[in-house]
Amino acid sequence: MATLQVLTIPAFDDNYLWLIHDGVHAAVVDPGDARPVLAALALHQLTLTAILLTHHHADHVGGVPELLKHASVPVYGPRNESIATVTHPLAQGDTVVLPELQWQLDVLDVPGHTSGHIAYYAAIEEWLFCGDTLFAGGCGRLFEGTPEQMDASLQKLAALPGQTSVFCAHEYTMANLRFAQAVEPGNMALQQRIVREQDKRDRHVPTVPSTIALERETNPFLRWRGAEISHSLQQAGKLGDDAGIAGFAALRAWKNSYR
């Protein structure tokens, strides 16, 4: 059995498309643009055998029709969203088996960014492909879901093993970490992370994948129940003495307008 590898494919201004391959066969996650995927397949002499989608936004699904012109392959995607190209609709508890790659993934429902967003977790490799739900240092905007849904989704992902690699779909890390520092300035692990990630960006190296353990230590959207973040929200006039999900909602709203 060949060892699987994950190839990072940059797209648009800040997207990452993920190509998982064994040196012969490949599956792609969230191909918003077909051109860089086709180029990577040709360069590495790989045959596309599956497409995996996390949600319906165009920068995640826009390249699928063109890819299907080149290869008639199954398209896996969320059962609770309308994506015309999906042939295998999925939801929480489903398992994806890709025989050509001898690869298995568990499907997780993670609504919030969109109403039917899903993630894929490869337990053997400890890889998570989470689209726009969990970012390095942040989380997706709530375009369709509620704060309660997003918080529950993030807590579900945070419960995965700490060494799990987090393959999110955007290079938003430094902007996310600047906000994280503003709301939790006393977090030493966060300060150290900022130095490491900025060094990567200075060398034009992706900051993704992250790990679940690192996100638990430094991501404010996994840490919003803590005293320092609550105090920052109150000091900034974003939150009164309310407890509960109002804190998450206030934090996400603040991030939406933070510069």
> Is 33 tagged catalytic?
no
**Which member of 57, 109, 117, 151 is catalytic?**
57
Asked about 56 being catalytic, the answer comes back as: no
Please give the single-letter amino acid code of residue 182: A
Q: Of 25, 113, 117, 151, which is the active-site residue?
A: 113
- Catalytic residue at 44? no
Which of the following is catalytic: 56, 60, 117, 151?
60
Q: One of 22, 33, 59, 109 is an active-site residue; which one?
A: 59
User: Is 59 one of the catalytic residues?
Assistant: yes
Task: State how far the Cα of 133 lies from the Cα of 151, in Å rounded to an integer.
Answer: 10
Alpha carbons 3 and 230: distance in angstroms, whole number? 44
Catalytic site residue 106?
Answer: no
Q: Which of the following is catalytic: 22, 30, 109, 132?
A: 132
Please confirm, yes or no, whether 170 is among the known catalytic residues.
Answer: yes
Asked whether 180 and 224 are in contact (CB, 8 A), the reply is no
Establish whether 70 is a catalytic residue: no
Q: Which of 55, 109, 117, 151 is catalytic?
A: 55
| Beta carbons within 10 angstroms of residue 19's beta carbon | 21
User: Catalytic positions, please?
Assistant: 55, 57, 59-60, 113, 132, 170
